[in-house]
């Protein structure tokens, strides 16, 4: 960490590699719902961390809470810019104020696992509401993480058709997931 703060950015690479997946899988993607935006936010988060590493104050704890806060701020910016999810942005702001920070990588993984479990039931319910083809597209690409080519092959469609199918599937998922969260909203 000291080397990175003194300008040796290669020293920061293993740190970012260690925390990139937990940030993506448990902080960014669940809050955005689509992989393209989530990947952009992860890149922005890591770039900001590199840019601001000199501002990080080491307190003998993991750097994960600092990285997680950057990621949450980036997600918040995406929601604010899109103006499509004001309620979610407000809920995230409240979450940031009330959350306790993990103090180590082990705590970060535990917290990530708890977040995953708490959302799993709602995700399963939402998936069951989707038509089978949409459900299959999401499962192949986002859960099994198969390549676009393999997903298209398994569904018997072209890659372009699969991309459109996945886009529509994610959009339908977000619509149903949001409806469950706010039953009084239209």
Residues contacting 69, CB < 8 A, separation 6+:
96
Which structural domains are found in the chain, ordered by start? 2-117 (no CATH), 130-186 (1.10.10)
Q: What is the pLDDT of residue 63?
A: 87
Q: Is the pLDDT of residue 11 over 80?
A: yes
Q: pTM here?
A: 0.46
Q: Are 97 and 91 in contact (CB under 8 A)?
A: no
**147-171 pLDDT, tens digit each:** 889 999 999 999 888 888 888 888 8
| Distance of alpha carbon 104 from alpha carbon 60, whole angstroms | 9
Burial 129-163, CB ≥16 within 10 A → b, else e: ebeeebbbbbebbbeeeeeeeebbeebebeeeebb
Q: What is the pLDDT of residue 60?
A: 75
Mean pLDDT for the stretch of residues 11-21? 88
Report which of 141, 150, 160, 161 is spatially closest to residue 38, judged by C-alpha positions.
141
Q: What is the pLDDT of residue 142?
A: 81
- Compute the CA torsion angle 42, 45, 47, 49 (nearest 10 deg): -140
**27-73 pLDDT, tens digit each:** 999 888 888 889 999 999 999 988 888 888 877 778 899 999 999 99
Q: What is the pLDDT of residue 185?
A: 41
Q: Is the pLDDT of residue 183 over 90?
A: no
**80-139 pLDDT, tens digit each:** 776 544 544 455 555 554 454 444 556 666 666 666 666 677 788 888 999 999 999 988
Q: Is the pLDDT of residue 144 over 70?
A: yes
Q: What is the pLDDT of residue 39?
A: 92
Q: What is the pLDDT of residue 101?
A: 46
Which tokens go with 146?
């198969």
């Amino acid at each position: 960490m000291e080397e990175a703060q003194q300008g040796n950015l290669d020293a920061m690479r293993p740190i970012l590699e260690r925390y990139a997946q937990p940030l993506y899988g448990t902080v960014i993607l669940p809050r955005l719902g689509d992989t393209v935006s989530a990947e952009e936010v992860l890149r922005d988060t890591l770039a900001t961390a590199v840019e601001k590493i000199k501002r990080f104050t080491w307190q003998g704890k993991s750097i994960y809470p600092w990285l997680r806060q950057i990621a949450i701020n980036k997600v918040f910016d995406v929601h604010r810019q899109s103006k499509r999810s004001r309620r979610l942005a407000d809920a995230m702001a409240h979450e940031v104020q009330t959350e306790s920070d993990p103090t180590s990588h082990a705590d970060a993984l535990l917290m990530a696992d708890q977040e995953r479990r708490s959302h799993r039931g709602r995700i399963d319910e939402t998936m069951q509401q989707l038509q089978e083809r949409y459900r299959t597209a999401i499962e192949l690409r986002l859960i099994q993480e198969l390549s676009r080519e393999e997903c298209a092959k398994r569904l018997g469609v072209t890659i372009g058709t699969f991309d459109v199918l996945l886009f529509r599937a994610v959009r339908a998922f977000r619509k149903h997931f949001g409806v469950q969260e706010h039953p009084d909203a239209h």
